[in-house]
């Protein structure tokens, strides 16, 4: 907790990298994440004088980042060519050389809610109660989504699937 409100620059120094990680986890490690980072800190700068001293600054920033990521996703889909509804499933893009997957690419293969739960809790430090508020559903559901996401991530990153894995599973 703060005793006096620090200059905003200190907020950027302390939380800039965390917010960028969250934006990358949600949107992918490209310019959309940079845009979300900028929009987040610009909005936070404007609201900074009015933020109560007791506020959890990092949680406040992650919440703003969540909203800005939604705005950017919507703007992107407005400009995209509609292809009809896609089933929500793990993407297989990048899997042929799964050993090269970094965290951002691995996160992109997770179902939406799991990805956001991991991003906000494990990368953004947001308590499950607050994650649940952003995602809808119960605190327990948010905790489960994050746990399932982490299990999948470990499987992808620590023990990446290889073509021979798939073959042996099919023949056994």
Partner 1 sequence: MTEHDQSARLDLLPVPPTPPAHLDALRARLADAAADAELLDLAFRTIDSPVGDLLLATSAQGLVRVAFANENFDAVLDTLGAAVGRRILNAPARLDAPARQLDDYFAGRRRAFDLTLDLRLSAGFRRLVQQHLPEIPYGRTASYKEMAALVGNPGAVRAVGTACSTNPLPIVVPCHRVVRSDGSLGGYIGGFAAKQALLDLEHAAAQP
Place of tokens 């905003």: 8
Binding of partner 1 by 9 (CB under 8 A): yes
Place of tokens 């997957």: 101
Pick the binder of partner 1 from 21, 68, 113, 115 (CB under 8 A). 21
Residue 71: how many other CB atoms lie within 10 Å: 12
Burial of residue 8 (number of CB atoms within 10 Å: 0-12, 13-18, 19+) = middle
Binding of partner 1 by 7 (CB under 8 A): yes
Q: Give the nearer residue to partner 1 in terms of CB position, either 141 or 150.
A: 150
Binding of partner 1 by 67 (CB under 8 A): no
Cα separation of 149 and 160, whole Å?
15
Least gap, CB of 136 to partner 1 (angstroms):
22
Task: Return the residues of window 81-100 that contact partner 1 according to CB under 8 A.
Answer: none
The CA-to-CA distance between both ends of the chain, in Å, stands at 57
Q: Give the nearer residue to partner 1 in terms of CB position, either 46 or 163.
A: 46
Q: Tokens standing for 148?
A: 């399932």
Cα separation of 66 and 39, whole Å?
11
Stretch of 73-81, 88-96, 115-123, 160-168 contacting partner 1, by CB under 8 A: 115-123
Least gap, CB of 90 to partner 1 (angstroms):
18
Place of tokens 């610009």: 42
Q: Give the nearer residue to partner 1 in terms of CB position, either 6 or 163.
A: 6
Q: What share of the chain is helix, strand, coil (3-state, %, to 5)?
A: 70, 0, 30
Task: Return the residues of window 116-145 that contact partner 1 according to CB under 8 A.
Answer: 118, 122-123, 125-127
Residues in contact with partner 1 by the rule CB under 8 A: 4-10, 12, 16-18, 20-21, 29, 34, 37-38, 41-42, 45-46, 48-49, 102-104, 118, 122-123, 125-127, 150, 153, 157
């Amino acid at each position: 907790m703060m005793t006096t409100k620090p200059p905003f620059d200190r907020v950027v120094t302390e939380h800039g990298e965390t917010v960028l990680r969250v934006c990358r986890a949600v949107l992918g490690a490209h310019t959309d994440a940079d845009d979300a980072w900028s929009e987040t800190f610009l909005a936070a700068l404007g609201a900074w004088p009015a933020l109560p001293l007791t506020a959890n600054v990092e949680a406040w920033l992650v919440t703003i980042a969540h909203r800005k990521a939604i705005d950017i996703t919507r703007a992107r889909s407005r400009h995209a060519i509609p292809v009809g509804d896609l089933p929500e499933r793990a993407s297989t893009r990048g899997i042929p050389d799964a050993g090269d997957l970094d965290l951002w690419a691995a996160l992109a293969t997770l179902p939406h809610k799991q990805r956001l739960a991991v991003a906000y809790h494990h990368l953004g430090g947001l308590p499950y109660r607050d994650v649940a508020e952003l995602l809808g559903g119960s605190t327990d559901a948010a905790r489960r989504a994050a746990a399932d996401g982490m299990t999948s991530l470990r499987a992808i990153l620590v023990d990446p699937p290889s073509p021979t894995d798939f073959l042996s599973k099919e023949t056994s």
